[in-house]
């Protein structure tokens, strides 16, 4: 149903929380980039005039251009990452394939994943892989060939092979979920190096356990190390191979309860990563093999196989896991991937506003100063004009008096 809804454009997948947030933050940073570029251009224009803006401030804003550009690059690469751990043959590759609805990763008794395998979406039409430290694209025609390529190589157990799978073949990959499959935690691994190299940026960890046995010390040990390095990692526990329980229905409830209690204790009391209520939403009993078979048959890729007792319930539980997983990973990724960027975006926007405000205030101050200067000048002119008027009037008066005096004296002299 989810697949149909999504292809019809009514996408209510919880992954959309991340997809939409990513689009929004990308758009916002696009706008910030425009503002920064406009501001730099404007500052260059006014830098030459009036000393309104200092060279230091221009440099500060110019530095934002590169900063915003690199944030946009990081944002466009941001994805949600889920890493799968567990003992060899517990079904890690099968779970990933079931979620991706295709046999992408090699799985089976004859094959053991002896290195880290990352599956991510690509816009390329054909699948390909790259090995650590190289950009060379090796074409992958089939799972068999991928398995062969991986076995042939002498890869170290902490090395990473990246499998690029066409996005248009899988919705989870289209929505930027990246899957990481690990070698079994029982393969004498250097756990610390694994965590440092591949786990620090994981949003969700999935422990694929075997429902036919109890959690092993090696499996627990790994998650103890993870929860020491990361604060409250999101951990799901999948009790895989639950189809085996169908052969012993009389013990089904009892076995389930026992696994459930132990898994809750592990998450809540031992690791302290969640509350008991949250833990109930993190533990599932599934059969990856059945889900994969059913989905392949649904798509007409393989013939359908006879169903084991209780298949439908296990299938629903797998779907329930997928939904809870999608909710958890998208919320967690939004927080871890975008919170820092949005803080930085706010900081840059505030700095821009402060600088533009200071330019505006400086311009206002200069304008007032000029107006004042002009007023002083006009006052002076007015005063001089007034003085001139007074002086001229006095002069006129004096001259008139003088003329009158002379006239009087002349006429007096003439009469005399």
Going through 141-188 in order, the beta strands assigned E by DSSP cover 160-166, 177-181
Q: Pairing state of beta strands 80-85 and 177-181?
A: parallel
104 contacts 143 by C-beta, under 8 angstroms: yes
119 contacts 92 by C-beta, under 8 angstroms: no
Indicate which single residue of 13, 89, 234, 245 sits in contact with ligand GDP (rule: CB under 6 A).
Answer: 89
The rounded Cα 97 to chain-centroid distance in angstroms is 25
Put residue 137 in one of left, alpha, beta given phi > 0 → left and psi -120 to 50 → alpha.
Answer: beta
Shortest Cβ distance from residue 223 to ligand GDP (Å)?
A: 16
Residues 6+ apart with CB under 8 A from 196: 229
Site string for ligand GDP, 224-253 (x = CB under 6 A): ----------------xx-xx---------
Residues 6+ apart with CB under 8 A from 234: 203, 204, 205, 273, 328, 329, 332
Indicate which single residue of 36, 273, 288, 296 sits in contact with ligand GDP (rule: CB under 6 A).
Answer: 288
Residue 317 in contact with ligand GDP, rule: CB under 6 A: no
Shortest Cβ distance from residue 225 to ligand GDP (Å)?
A: 19
Shortest Cβ distance from residue 156 to ligand GDP (Å)?
A: 18
Residue 109 in contact with ligand GDP, rule: CB under 6 A: yes
Residue 319 in contact with ligand GDP, rule: CB under 6 A: no
Shortest Cβ distance from residue 235 to ligand GDP (Å)?
A: 17
Q: Which two tokens stand for residue 294?
A: 């059913």
The stretch near ligand GDP (CB under 6 A) out of 20-28, 87-95, 118-126, 246-254 is: 87-95
Shortest Cβ distance from residue 38 to ligand GDP (Å)?
A: 53
Residue 146 in contact with ligand GDP, rule: CB under 6 A: no
Phi, psi of 108, rounded to the nearest 5 degrees: 140, 170
- Complex with ligand GDP: residue 105 or 279, whichever CB lies closer: 105
d(CA 163, CA 170): 13
**DSSP single-letter state for residue 269:** I
Residue 210 in contact with ligand GDP, rule: CB under 6 A: no
Indicate which single residue of 113, 118, 234, 293 sits in contact with ligand GDP (rule: CB under 6 A).
Answer: 113
Q: Which residues bind ligand GDP (CB under 6 A)?
A: 86, 88-94, 107-109, 112-113, 240-241, 243-244, 287-289
């Amino acid at each position: 149903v989810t697949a149909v809804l999504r292809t019809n454009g009514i996408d209510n997948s919880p992954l959309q929380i991340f997809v939409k947030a990513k689009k929004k933050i990308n758009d916002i940073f696009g706008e910030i980039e425009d503002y920064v570029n406009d501001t730099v251009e404007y500052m260059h224009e006014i830098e030459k005039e009036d000393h309104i803006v200092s060279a230091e401030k221009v440099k500060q804003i110019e530095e934002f251009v590169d900063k915003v550009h690199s944030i946009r690059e990081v944002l466009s690469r941001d994805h949600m990452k889920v890493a799968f751990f567990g003992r060899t043959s517990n079904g890690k590759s099968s779970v990933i394939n079931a979620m991706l609805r295709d046999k992408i990763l090699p799985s089976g008794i004859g094959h053991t994943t002896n290195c880290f395998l990352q599956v991510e979406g690509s816009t390329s039409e054909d699948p390909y892989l790259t090995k650590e430290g190289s950009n060379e694209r090796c074409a992958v025609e089939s799972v068999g060939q991928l398995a062969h390529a991986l076995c042939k190589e002498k890869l170290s157990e902490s090395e990473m092979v990246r499998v690029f799978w066409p996005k248009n073949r899988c919705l989870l990959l289209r929505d930027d979920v990246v899957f990481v499959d690990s070698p079994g935690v029982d393969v004498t691994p250097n756990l610390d190096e694994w965590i440092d190299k591949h786990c620090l940026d994981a949003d969700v960890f999935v422990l694929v356990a075997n429902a036919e046995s109890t959690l092993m010390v090696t499996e627990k040990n790994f998650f103890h190390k993870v929860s020491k390095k990361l604060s409250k990692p999101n951990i799901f526990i999948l009790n895989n191979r639950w189809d085996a329980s169908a052969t012993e229905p009389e013990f089904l409830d009892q076995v389930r309860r026992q696994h459930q209690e132990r898994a809750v204790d592990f998450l809540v009391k031992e690791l302290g990563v969640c509350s008991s209520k949250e833990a109930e939403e993190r533990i599932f009993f599934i059969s990856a093999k059945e889900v994969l078979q059913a989905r392949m048959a649904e798509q007409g890729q393989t013939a359908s196989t006879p169903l084991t007792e209780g298949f439908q319930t296990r299938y629903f539980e797998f779907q329930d896991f997928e939904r809870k997983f999608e909710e958890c990973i998208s919320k967690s990724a939004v927080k871890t991937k975008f919170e820092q960027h949005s803080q930085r975006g706010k900081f840059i926007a505030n700095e821009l506003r402060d600088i533009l405000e200071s330019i505006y205030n400086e311009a206002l101050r200069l304008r007032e100063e000029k107006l004042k200067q002009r007023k002083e000048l006009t006052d002076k002119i007015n005063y001089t004009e007034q003085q001139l008027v007074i002086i001229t009037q006095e002069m006129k008066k004096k001259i008139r008096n003088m003329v009158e005096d002379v006239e009087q004296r002349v006429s007096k002299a003439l009469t005399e």
